[in-house]
Structure 1
């Protein structure tokens, strides 16, 4: 019987300077079968030529080079269509796989056929010398299996993405059943994907370091902040529940939970913005749209009182008091 392997998709757009180290971190794994597909999305920095050089050196590597840029979601989905192995990893060309990570993930999922995907610890770094050589992570660091509904419930209670894509190995049969990434979720497609996978199986959590995430000036995650980040997270959860309620226990209650949590989070961020002299009214307005009941929470009324005081100070109603920076209209 052929041993279970991992197909690794490496989308690349102008990350040629990182590509060789990224692919090398994958090919280091020799205990299980590995295939790599580099998809260059019409880079202008010579990434395609770099990819072809890497493929010429190792027959486990294949290359697709787009003549016209298709965007990251279309590129991800193209890669998913290429997969033949039992398991898959989508790895950005600027990130790295930790030594032993793929074998650990496969071992866990082979032992637990109900697990839809596995993720683990990630280390963030900025410079190559921080990881030279890549630290080894002991196989005995432990693992846990979380019911899919519990994973979904945890994300609904705290609606931020706790999973680094560089650490995620997905069972290919689950991926093919649930389909690809949503085209409109440019920033939170991975968050919605983890929710969708968890709706169809358990989640494995590995205690070892499974990936290394590079921080640099062109990180895609930095393009979505403030209103765009909140909107994308809101759309990810709404899209998930709109399409998967039939297979998620207590879906209506979980959807209400996440909308409440998002609204409360926005009120908390609005309070911090007010304290630091930044505009915050948009957060209050959006929080009320997401969950109208937020206006009856203590945090909302504390913020409203702070806003009134700030407005009075700004207008000089309290003589002798220092004037804060412009904070925008009160909630």
Structure 2
């Protein structure tokens, strides 16, 4: 096990109604090759048995760990509370249903030590189901910029939060907007407007998708992306015309997702209204064909892809 002289990472786990998953999350932190200086778990008013599970598991913590259980205040408020306790060089949080691979903190801290101008380090992640089976990885379907991440963010290219480690000093006192419906995007915009982001090519974490994920509502997510851009407009180094162009591209890209999730009507309307966001007429034509294709063909293809991924990647527990 490697150690850094300043043992530099403060880790937070915001917990809410994940009694089935929180033990696996916490034990993935215990397994880190670079242990955190301190772990803080805040239960945000869970109505299941999460509190009892957390209290039991934290008895096995191989480093300093603290637990706060209180009424529900929302994720952004919970993250702001956690960061107010953070007194180390780096800060990282992980949702109570997600998982870090054992070298996550070590790899991200090493990258940040090499990239002194980076506000954060991020990585690609596996996508897992409620049983821990890997059915995708984010580098299969998206690419992220290294350094200047702002244009990518403006068109909806957003990395998953389990793969992120922040420099504590760039976060300030209350970095998360507690009125925002999505906790991370607006913060990413503000940080990217002033700092570079460091991309780690490794897949270092697992993001769990299951029936309780609020991010399943993609329409809400798109609306919040656009609202966050408007709230951040004064900080962005773009003209009004450039922001409008980014937003057209974002809406066009979102239309593809609406089609993938079966909302053909919304997909068709969004693609037509934002057709200038396509890179070419050929792209528009291909997207139109996809909308017109029978839904059963799409569902069959998706099922085949997921089955192939499970066969190829296995279960996340095999990597821990």
* Length-normalised TM-score, structure 2: 0.73
Deviations 1:173-227, CA, capped at 9 Å, x for gaps: 01127x421123213x3122222222232111111111111121111211x233x
1:182 to 170, 177, 184: 177
- Relative to structure 1, the CA distance from residue 60 to residue 225 in structure 2 (aligned partners, 3 Å threshold; closer, same or farther) is same
Deviations 1:146-187, CA, capped at 9 Å, x for gaps: 33xx3101222xx2243010000000001127x421123213
Pair 1:230-2:222 in alignment: yes
Provide the residue aligned with 1:91 in structure 2. Answer: 94
2:47 to 39, 44, 68: 44
Provide the residue aligned with 1:164 in structure 2. Answer: 160
2:248 to 260, 275, 280: 260
Which is higher, the Rg of structure 1 or of structure 2? Answer: 1
Displacement after TM superposition at 1:20 (Å) = 1.4
- Relative to structure 1, the CA distance from residue 276 to residue 253 in structure 2 (aligned partners, 3 Å threshold; closer, same or farther) is closer
| 1:1-331 alignment runs, 5 A limit | 2-58=5-61, 59-66=63-70, 68-128=71-131, 130=133, 146-147=146-147, 150-156=148-154, 159-176=155-172, 179-187=174-182, 189-222=183-216, 224-226=217-219, 228-242=220-234, 244-245=235-236, 248=237, 250=238, 252=240, 254-265=242-253, 278=265, 283=270
Q: Matches of 2:157 and 2:253 in 1, distance apart?
A: 14
Q: Matches of 2:6 and 2:81 in 1, distance apart?
A: 25
- Relative to structure 1, the CA distance from residue 241 to residue 194 in structure 2 (aligned partners, 3 Å threshold; closer, same or farther) is same
Q: 8 Å contact 2:11–2:36 — kept in the other structure? A: no
Q: Matches of 2:194 and 2:75 in 1, distance apart?
A: 25
Q: Matches of 1:49 and 1:266 in 2, distance apart?
A: 40
> Secondary structure of 2:40's partner?
strand
Q: Matches of 2:79 and 2:161 in 1, distance apart?
A: 12
> Secondary structure of 2:20's partner?
helix
> Secondary structure of 1:110's partner?
helix
> Secondary structure of 1:146's partner?
coil
> Secondary structure of 2:265's partner?
coil
Runs (5+) with no aligned partner, structure 1: 132-143, 311-331
CA RMSD of aligned residues (A): 3.4
Q: Matches of 1:84 and 1:31 in 2, distance apart?
A: 17
Q: Matches of 2:169 and 2:200 in 1, distance apart?
A: 21
* Length-normalised TM-score, structure 1: 0.71
Displacement after TM superposition at 1:145 (Å) = 8.5
Runs (5+) with no aligned partner, structure 2: 135-143, 293-320
